[in-house]
Structure 1
Amino acid sequence: MSCSSSSSGGSDGEDEGIENYRKGGYHAVRVGDQFAGGRYIAQRKLGWGQFSTVWLAFDTHASKYVALKIQKSAAQFAQAALHEIELLTAIANGDPSNSKCVVRLIDSFKHSGPNGQHLCMVLEFMGDSLLQLIKYNRYKGLELNRVREICKCILIGLDYLHRELGLIHTDLKPENILLCSTIDPTKDPIRSGAAPVLERPEVSLNGGSTMSIIEKRLKRRAKRAAAKISGRRSSMGGTNPKSRRNLDGVDVKCKLVDFGNACWADKQFAGEIQTRQYRAPEVILQSGYSFSVDMWSFACTAFELATGDMLFAPKVGQGFSEDEDHLALMMELLGKIPRKIATGGVKSKDFFDRYGDLKRIRRLKFLSLDKLLMDRYKFPESEACEFAEFLSPLFDFAPEKRPTAQQCLQHPWLALRKALLPLPPSETNDKANMENLQAGVSNLQIKRYIKGSKL
Structure 2
Amino acid sequence: MQTAVHAMAPQLLAQYSHSSLNRPLNGNSTGMPTPPATRKRKRAAHQYTVSYSEVQEVDSAGKVRDVIVIDDTPPPTTASPSTSHMFSTSYQPPLYSAPIRTRARAAQEAQALSTSVSSITIPGPAAKKRRRDIADDAGTVAKRPATGHLQQLTANKSIASGSGATIDEASKEVPCDDKEGHYIVVPDDIIHRRYRTVRLLGQGTFGKVVEAVDTETNKKVAIKIIRAIPKYRDASKMEVRVLQKLKERDPRNINKCIHLIQWFDHRNHICLVSELLGMCVYDFLKENEFAPFPRHHIQSFAKQLLGSVAFLHDLHLIHTDLKPENILLVNNDYRTAHIPIPGRRNGGTKAKRILKSTEIRLIDFGSATFEDEYHSNVVSTRHYRAPEIILGLGWSYPCDAFSLGCILVEFYTGMALFQTHDNLEHLAMMEQVMGKMTERFLRQGVRSKPEFFKEGKLDWPKPKVSRQSKKDVRACRSLQEIIHPRDSVNVHFLDLVKRLLTFDPVLRISVRDALAHPYFSLKIPAEL
- Establish whether TM, by shorter chain, passes 0.5: yes
Q: Where does residue 351 of structure 1 map in the other structure?
A: 452
Give distance in 1, aligned partners of 2:334 and 2:351: 16
Partner SS, residue 344 of structure 1 = helix
Task: Quickly say closer, same or farther: Cα 1:54–1:300, change in 2 above 3 A.
Answer: same
Q: Where does residue 340 of structure 1 map in the other structure?
A: 440
Q: Where does residue 157 of structure 2 map in the other structure?
A: none
Amino acid at match of 1:172: L
Q: Where does residue 91 of structure 1 map in the other structure?
A: 246
Give distance in 1, aligned partners of 2:322 and 2:411: 13
User: Residue deviations 1:177-204, cap 9 Å, x none?
Assistant: 111123479xxxxxxxxxxxxxxxxxxx
Partner SS, residue 365 of structure 2 = coil
Q: Where does residue 208 of structure 2 map in the other structure?
A: 53
1:68 aligns with 2:217: no
Query: Would the aligned equivalents of 2:84 and 2:283 in 1 still touch at CA under 8 Å?
Result: no
Q: 1:176 aligns with which of 326, 329, 336?
A: 326
User: Residue deviations 1:82-126, cap 9 Å, x none?
Assistant: 1111111111111111221100011111111xxxx1111101111
Q: Where does residue 371 of structure 1 map in the other structure?
A: 481
Give distance in 2, aligned partners of 1:244 and 1:323: 38
Matches within 5 A, 1:18-417: 22-36=178-192, 38-112=193-267, 117-163=268-314, 165-183=315-333, 243=350, 245-248=352-355, 250-315=356-421, 322-345=422-445, 347-358=448-459, 360=461, 367-374=477-484, 380=486, 382-416=488-522
Give distance in 1, aligned partners of 2:400 and 2:461: 29
Query: Would the aligned equivalents of 2:492 and 2:518 in 1 still touch at CA under 8 Å?
Result: no
Partner SS, residue 450 of structure 2 = helix
How much has 1:356 moved relative to structure 2?
3.0
Amino acid at match of 1:285: L
Amino acid at match of 1:35: I
Give distance in 2, aligned partners of 1:10 and 1:83: 25
Task: Quickly say closer, same or farther: Cα 1:244–1:389, change in 2 above 3 A.
Answer: farther
TM-score, normalisation: structure 1: 0.70
How much has 1:341 moved relative to structure 2?
1.4
Bigger share in helix: 1
How much has 1:419 moved relative to structure 2?
5.7
Give distance in 1, aligned partners of 2:81 and 2:398: 27
Amino acid at match of 2:450: K
Task: Quickly say closer, same or farther: Cα 1:134–1:380, change in 2 above 3 A.
Answer: farther
Bigger relative contact order (CA 8 A; separation at least 6): 2
Task: Quickly say closer, same or farther: Cα 1:49–1:333, change in 2 above 3 A.
Answer: same
TM-score, normalisation: structure 2: 0.61
Task: Quickly say closer, same or farther: Cα 1:278–1:94, change in 2 above 3 A.
Answer: same
Query: Would the aligned equivalents of 1:168 and 1:263 in 2 still touch at CA under 8 Å?
Result: yes
Task: Quickly say closer, same or farther: Cα 1:295–1:183, change in 2 above 3 A.
Answer: same
How much has 1:384 moved relative to structure 2?
3.5
Query: Would the aligned equivalents of 2:89 and 2:278 in 1 still touch at CA under 8 Å?
Result: no
Give distance in 1, aligned partners of 2:425 and 2:320: 21
How much has 1:333 moved relative to structure 2?
1.5
Q: Where does residue 17 of structure 1 map in the other structure?
A: 119
Query: Aligned-residue CA RMSD in angstroms?
Result: 3.1
Bigger share in strand: 2
Task: Quickly say closer, same or farther: Cα 1:244–1:160, change in 2 above 3 A.
Answer: farther
What residue ranges of structure 2 are gaps of 5+ in the alignment?
Answer: 1-79, 91-115, 122-175, 336-346, 464-469
Give distance in 2, aligned partners of 1:411 and 1:16: 47
How much has 1:63 moved relative to structure 2?
3.3
Query: Would the aligned equivalents of 1:109 and 1:119 in 2 still touch at CA under 8 Å?
Result: yes
Query: Would the aligned equivalents of 2:326 and 2:362 in 1 still touch at CA under 8 Å?
Result: yes
Task: Quickly say closer, same or farther: Cα 1:181–1:42, change in 2 above 3 A.
Answer: same
Give distance in 1, aligned partners of 2:349 and 2:231: 45
Task: Quickly say closer, same or farther: Cα 1:87–1:245, change in 2 above 3 A.
Answer: same
Query: Would the aligned equivalents of 2:118 and 2:182 in 1 still touch at CA under 8 Å?
Result: no
How much has 1:137 moved relative to structure 2?
2.2
Task: Quickly say closer, same or farther: Cα 1:336–1:361, change in 2 above 3 A.
Answer: farther
How much has 1:261 moved relative to structure 2?
1.1
Task: Quickly say closer, same or farther: Cα 1:241–1:29, change in 2 above 3 A.
Answer: farther
Aligned residues: 348
Partner SS, residue 247 of structure 1 = strand
Task: Quickly say closer, same or farther: Cα 1:88–1:394, change in 2 above 3 A.
Answer: same
Partner SS, residue 96 of structure 1 = coil
Amino acid at match of 2:441: I
